[in-house]
Structure 1
Amino acid sequence: MSMTSFLIYCVIVTFTPGPTNIALLSIAQNARRKEAFRYIWGVTAAFGVLLAASVMLNNALAAVMPKILAFMQIIGCMYILYLAYQVYKMDISGDSTKQAATFMTGFLMQFVNPKVWLFTMTVIPSYVMPYYKSQLVLSIFVLVITIVAFLALVTWVIFGMVFKRFLQKHLKMTNIILALLLVYSAIEVSGIIEIVKR
């Protein structure tokens, strides 16, 4: 097993912009740290659950994965577009931000995020299971990957809080840019780009 390749893959997937990270950046610049971390704990918990499910149900999931992904593309696209709308109309009053920054919204976001499904359902079967079979070792890898994802989320919160004053000074433009990035994520998640390329 190439540990370097495995770690690079984990870092690239978890640290690069995606629906969850973009939403978190918006939450971090409009909410208190407490709300942002509630959302992070929800995201992290769901991420860990999906990784554990991947380990336990590897063969069964491999068979139904194409059907699950097609469904998740539709649901995920709609949810991300809804999220984009919420980010676009978000203000610094905090009311809409607090509604978006809960443990449950962070948790549920992962279950409609095809990027997370693809990653969690492939990383351990592809990188780890060919070399390790022990449940203890597989559990350690689930924990390590979940910690990497948690650190990525915290990085996005820190970025949002460090640049909070700047982002709030240009709040409308920031919200528009973040909303457009989410719309782009929704288009990418929907599979439309692949269909157009054919």
Structure 2
Amino acid sequence: MNIVAFLTYVIVTSITPGPSNILMMNEARKFGFIGSWRFNGGILAGFGLLGIISGVFTTSLYHWLPVLGPYFKWAGAAYMLYLVWLMIGNKSSEKDSRDVQSSFLSGVMLQLINVKSILFFLTVMSAFILPYMTVKEDVERGKLKIVSHSEQFDPIYSHMLIKKKKWLSPAVKAFSELVIKSISVSENESDLIH
């Protein structure tokens, strides 16, 4: 498992605001640090429960994830728009909104339908944990064998087409120059090997 990629994904995903972060801040704003503990505890418990459910789900349905991924993205976008609609559409007075405090169970339920958290666990399980665990178990059981070799393999090439008269963004130009440079360097190295 690539630990740098794993930690980068976890940190970036954790610090970007999602529905839970926004609602936790709103709850703390309304009821204070102590008053929001039940709801925040429910969010935390729901996150742990979601992790367990996602782990079981991902492990049992590992081959269905590429099919379900795009639907989760659209569901997440729709959910975020729904939350925005609720926040904008809430025209009640400050006094009315202070009367209702969110409960532990509402925090758990919110987290269980939080698409950002669902995608987080599905991505962590499918991209980092399961591939590592599956290969490790297969090697330990003898189904796979690690074979050492000392042969040199010819480089694998890919094709890149760029329309010369079309405007290219600076990023695409830089990428194409990098690819062309790496291909010319690898061709020179292969000439030296043969």
Larger helix proportion, structure 1 or 2? 1
Instruction: Show the counterpart of 2:132.
Output: 131
Conservation of the 8 A alpha-carbon contact between 2:75 and 2:115: no
Secondary structure at the aligned position of 2:131 is classed as coil
Instruction: Show the counterpart of 1:161.
Output: none
Write out aligned runs for 1:1-198 (5 A).
1-58=1-58, 59-60=60-61, 62=65, 63-67=67-71, 69-71=73-75, 73-86=77-90, 91=94, 93=95, 96-97=97-98, 99-132=100-133
Conservation of the 8 A alpha-carbon contact between 1:31 and 1:98: no
Secondary structure at the aligned position of 2:132 is classed as coil
Instruction: Show the counterpart of 1:139.
Output: none
| TM-score normalised according to structure 2 size | 0.54
CA distance in 2 between counterparts of 1:85 and 1:108 reads 22
Bigger relative contact order (CA 8 A; separation at least 6): 1
- Bigger radius of gyration: 2
Amino acid at match of 1:82: L
CA distance in 1 between counterparts of 2:84 and 2:108 reads 14
Conservation of the 8 A alpha-carbon contact between 2:38 and 2:104: yes
CA distance in 2 between counterparts of 1:113 and 1:72 reads 8
Gaps of 5+ in 2: 137-194
Amino acid at match of 1:10: V
Q: Offset of 1:126 from its aligned partner?
A: 0.9
Q: Offset of 1:65 from its aligned partner?
A: 4.7
Q: Offset of 1:132 from its aligned partner?
A: 2.3
Gaps of 5+ in 1: 135-198
CA distance in 2 between counterparts of 1:81 and 1:9 reads 29
The runs of at least 4 consecutive aligned structure 1 residues that moved more than 6 Å come to none
Amino acid at match of 2:128: Y
CA distance in 1 between counterparts of 2:30 and 2:88 reads 15
| TM-score normalised according to structure 1 size | 0.53
Matched-pair identity in %: 24
CA offset digits 1:34-79 (Å, max 9, x no partner)? 3322111111122222221221121436254544554554355324
Amino acid at match of 2:9: Y
Number of matched pairs: 132
